[in-house]
Structure formats: C-alpha cells, structure tokens
Amino acid sequence: MTIQVITVPDLGGTDAVDVIEVCVAPGDIVEVEQSLVVLETDKASMEIPSTHAGTIVSVKVNEGDSISEGSALVELEIEAAEQAAPVADIPQPVEDAPIAAAPVVSESAAAVSAEQTVSVPDVGTDEDVDVIEVCVAVGDTVSEGDSLIVLETDKASIEIPAPSGGKVLSLSIKEGDKVASGSAIAVLLVESSAPAPENSAPVVQAETPAATHQPKAAAPAALAAKAASSDESTAEPDDGAYAGPAVRKLARQMGVDLSKVKGGGPRGRLTKDDIRAYVTKAVDVATSGKVTGGSGIPPIPALDFSKFGDVELVKMTKIQKITANNMSRNWLNVPHVTQFDDADITELEAFRKGMKAEAEKRGVKLTPLPFLLKACAAALRYEPAFNVSMHSDGEHIVKKDYVNIGIAVATSAGLMVPVIRDVDKKGLWELAEESNAMAKKARDGKLMPMDMQGGCFSISSLGAMGGTGFTPIVNAPEVAILGVSKADIKPKWDGQEFQPRNMLPLCLSYDHRAINGADAGNFMTFLVSAIGDIRRLLL
C-alpha cells in the first residue's frame, strides 16, 4: 500500500478557485475518475477526478476554502500496483516504496506467492450495488470458489467467489458499501507453482508519473478555458439550475427535476445533499398516507395489528420489496386479460415417465417444465404478436426475433425469474439441464443480473404445489406469461364415452394493449395442441 496525495491540477491560468463541494470523506473507497471535489471559478465549475482507485485517508480541503493549483486535496491509500499507471499529473512523490507487492519465491521448488487483487466482476449493471455481506476477514485462508462478499442488486443477491485460493491480506470494502463492476474487493496472497493469476499485481514498474500523465489533468483546465471564452457564467446546460455534472447525474438517476430543487450550496448551488433531501421529502409525502393528486391511489391505511393478537414484525428482503414494487407497477400499468384452457398431457406424461431412467443417467430431472418451454417457444414463433414489448415512447411496438423465456422460481429470498435463452434452438435435454441449473442457481443466491435479463415471455409453474388455476401477473416489459397449475385426471368425452385423461390447467395472462383476444386464442390453441401431441413440435 502507498499513500498518494492528489492535488489541484493545472487551472488554465486561474489563480484561486473555491471549493464548493467535497464529494468524499475519510474511509471512502474511490475509483479512478470518481469525483473528489468540485471547484468553482467565476466562470465555470469543475469536478476533480481521482487519478487512482483507493481509500481516502484524509481530506485536505473544506467546502468554502479558496485554493490554487498544486494545493493538496486528499491523501489516498492505493494498491502499490496502481502507482504504475497514474492518469494525471501528480507532483507529490509517493511515500512508500512498493516493495511489498513483489513476488516472493518461496524456498520450496518453484512455488510462487503473489498478491492478487480481486475486483467485482461484470455484474450486468452500471448502477452501484450494495455490499450486503462480507464473508471473509483479513488473515482468513480461502479456497478457490469460496464466497468473498455478497452483493445485492434490485434483481438478485450475488455471491462473488475467490478466483484463487489464498490468504486474505486486505479488504477494501465493508458491509453497507456500494460498489460497481471493477471495484476492488480484497487482496489475496496466492501461492501456486503456476504463473501468477491474470489480475494479480505482483510487480510494480518504477515508471515516472510524468511519462503517462495528461488527459485527466487537462480536462478541468479545458473546461475553464471553454467557459472563459464564452460569455456564460457556467459551462453547464442552460436549464436555470446551478449544479455540477455529478449533481446532475444523481438527479437524473433519481428522476429529479432540478428546477424544483432549492440549492443549499454557496450562491444557491445545488449539492448532492439537496437532491437527496428533496427525494427523502418526496418519499415521506408519498408514504405519509396523504393523497396528493386526483389520480393518486389511496394507500391502505396503517393498522395496529397487535390490538387483535400476537404479531411479529419481519423485515422484508430487498428482493421481496423489489418484487412487491414490480408487481404493483405491472398490475397498474398493464391491462391484463387471462385466458384458461386445459392441455391433455396423457401422452406427454407417458413419454416423460418412459424417459426417467435415461434422465437419471444424464443426471437431470425431467419434469413437465422443459416440454412447456419447448411448446411455448414454438407458440411464440407461431404467434409473433406474443413476442413483442411496448416501446416506452408509446408510439412503437418492439418485435423480437429471439425467443428467451423466463421461469419463475420461488426461493427463500423471494421470487426470481432467470431467463433461458434461445429456447427455440434447444433440445429437451438441454432445456431440462438449463432449467434445473437456473432454479438451483436462483435458490443458492448465485444468479447474476444478466441471468434475469432479456426475457420475451415467462412461465410460472405452480404445478408441483397444486391448484386448478390462477391469474399470473405479466412480467413487463414482456407482454404475456403462462401460469401452470397441477395436472389431474379428468373425464374427457371422446365422442362416445368419457375417457380418463391427464389434464394440465394452463392460464395465459397477456397485455391487452399489445395482444388482442384473437391472437391469444390462436396462441393458446396452438400451445394446447403442441403439448397434447409433442410430435407437433417437430413440424
């Protein structure tokens, strides 16, 4: 570890600037290019980005300070390897020599110990995600695949495994932090006879910062110069709001109209705290039980249930809260129609049961689900009105030429819908293996966000549990979902007499904006006949 002092870069000739926002505090973990402070001249404001990833040790400036080029802004503790590739002009020398990071050749034959920095992999979202659990401590020995941390996105919790076995030398994050793809998690001391893993950082090149600096330091100066050359008082969009890019970004992310927020910074400048306070107030109003507008839906009144008997207050998981929001959103936005029918699966079940021994040999569980996946994929191709999404512009329908189907999986953390891709191109064994694997991954909390993206249609099977029918809620932006209830033997008239047939109840909910009743009738009729005679899937 080394300490890096980050200073005010070239100000393009401006003598003194005001610190109008300090974006970090001691202990914060920052990434390269993350804003450290916002400075303001009389012509422009500029965010000073971090030149390295690391942990803030101390902040040298306060809001309201007047500083100049070369003034120290923060002290940053960085990985030694980081020092090799600075992206900006850093005049101050680093204090510690990065010797500790060099590989150590142990006395035993060719065994090599090297430090490996483990970072958050691509989690399929640009948003920051919450660290909900840190599973290791400094000094722990981990094996390859052991969980290091657990992240939670709005779709799932994700365990990040150790890429190699080794000893945990340091941890860069703690529970409650927010991280993104690429954020450092930990440094492991990895011992192997093979070459050091790819993202290990065993060697530090003694390259001089001056050889590689430039663009980042030049940016604020360029901004200042640009603003100075125009006659405007700020280089930001002329929307009447007095706010820097970081504040604007936060406002965009939170859907806040800046013109409605009062600036609490110097000269009325909007700060991130102003945005957060505005959102908090809006949420308070929304949840206070007061109906604010004519179209507002009255909330269900709060009630003290303990008046009626013993109660326990159980905290909802994040997945449960997200599911609740999504269900309400979809229920309120999508005009639902649900159509019911029964498919005769007598032959399908005979075939499936005949295949059980082979399935066991292959190590897969062959339930009706892969047959339903295959039949739904064929129905989506047959009736493409089902393979669309409503465009958010309200003017278009998006037609899809791929067939990805989500399967609803009940887990202890809540409902998850992993997506099986290109279902129309896969065989039954492959679909059985993939649905088994996805359901397991969901129950183990190992689904990645991309596992749950890109669905065209969903299947919610309650067949193993029972029931004769239900009305599933469309998983928007998809436009239809198939609910499957428990198959049962029912009498079926064959023209002369009743025959005992194994009937599978199907419930097809669809978005009536995108799909009309005739399309739904075609889809269901096709589906029922394909399930009734799976040879049709070969046609």
Kindly indicate which of the ranges 52-60, 147-155, 456-464, 519-527 contains the residues binding ligand COA, using the contact rule CB under 6 A. Answer: 456-464
Closest distance between ligand COA and the C-beta of residue 242, in Å? 47
Q: Please, are residues 272 and 262 in contact by the beta-carbon 8 Å criterion?
A: no
Residue whose beta carbon is closest to ligand COA: 463
Closest distance between ligand COA and the C-beta of residue 428, in Å? 12
- Complex with ligand COA: residue 256 or 417, whichever CB lies closer: 417
Q: Please, are residues 221 and 10 in contact by the beta-carbon 8 Å criterion?
A: yes
- Complex with ligand COA: residue 187 or 409, whichever CB lies closer: 409
- Complex with ligand COA: residue 329 or 396, whichever CB lies closer: 329
Kindly indicate which of the ranges 126-134, 175-183, 483-491, 510-518 contains the residues binding ligand COA, using the contact rule CB under 6 A. Answer: 483-491
261 Cβ neighbours under 8 A, 6+ residues apart:
241, 251, 270, 274, 275, 278
Closest distance between ligand COA and the C-beta of residue 374, in Å? 13
Residue located via tokens 């706010």? 243
- Complex with ligand COA: residue 388 or 462, whichever CB lies closer: 462
Closest distance between ligand COA and the C-beta of residue 499, in Å? 19
Neighbours of 354 (CB within 10 A): 9
Residue 324 as a binder of ligand COA (CB under 6 A): the answer is no
Q: Kindly report the CA angle at 208 between 205 and 209, in degrees rounded to 5?
A: 110
State the Cα–Cα distance between residues 410 and 443, nearest whole angstrom: 8
User: How many residues make contact with ligand COA (CB under 6 A)?
Assistant: 18
Residue 461 as a binder of ligand COA (CB under 6 A): the answer is yes
- Complex with ligand COA: residue 54 or 368, whichever CB lies closer: 368
Q: Please, are residues 402 and 334 in contact by the beta-carbon 8 Å criterion?
A: no
Q: What is the DSSP string of 337-389?
A: EEEEEEEE-HHHHHHHHHTHHHHHHHT----HHHHHHHHHHHHHHHSGGGSEE
Among candidate residues 52, 213, 391, 512, the one labeled active-site is 512
Closest distance between ligand COA and the C-beta of residue 515, in Å? 20
Q: Please, are residues 62 and 273 in contact by the beta-carbon 8 Å criterion?
A: no
Among residues 49, 368, 445, 449, the one that binds ligand COA under rule CB under 6 A = 368
Give one word for 211, left, alpha or beta, with left for phi > 0 and alpha for psi -120 to 50.
alpha
CA dihedral 519, 523, 529, 532 (to 10 degrees): -150
Coil, strand or helix at 248: helix
Partner residues linked to 141 by β-bridges: 167
State the Cα–Cα distance between residues 134 and 128, nearest whole angstrom: 16
Residue 134 as a binder of ligand COA (CB under 6 A): the answer is no
Among residues 168, 261, 409, 428, the one that binds ligand COA under rule CB under 6 A = 409
- Complex with ligand COA: residue 76 or 504, whichever CB lies closer: 504
Q: Please, are residues 176 and 165 in contact by the beta-carbon 8 Å criterion?
A: no
Nearest to 114 by CA among 185, 186, 200, 198: 200
Instruction: Give the x-and-dash track for 413-452 against ligand COA (CB under 6 A).
Output: --x-----------------------x-------------
Kindly indicate which of the ranges 72-80, 291-299, 458-466, 516-524 contains the residues binding ligand COA, using the contact rule CB under 6 A. Answer: 458-466
- Complex with ligand COA: residue 202 or 472, whichever CB lies closer: 472
Q: Please, are residues 453 and 124 in contact by the beta-carbon 8 Å criterion?
A: yes
Residue 504 as a binder of ligand COA (CB under 6 A): the answer is yes
Kindly indicate which of the ranges 7-15, 18-26, 147-155, 461-469 contains the residues binding ligand COA, using the contact rule CB under 6 A. Answer: 461-469
State the Cα–Cα distance between residues 235 and 238, nearest whole angstrom: 8
State the SS3 of 151-204. Answer: EECCCCEEEEECCCCEEEEEECCCCCCEECCCCEEEEEEEEECCCCCCCECCCC
Among residues 34, 147, 192, 367, the one that binds ligand COA under rule CB under 6 A = 367
Among residues 487, 508, 520, 530, the one that binds ligand COA under rule CB under 6 A = 487
Closest distance between ligand COA and the C-beta of residue 443, in Å? 8
- Residue 512 bears catalytic tag: yes
Residues with catalytic roles: 512
Q: Name the residues that contact ligand COA, by CB under 6 A.
A: 367-369, 407-410, 415, 439, 460-464, 484, 486-487, 504
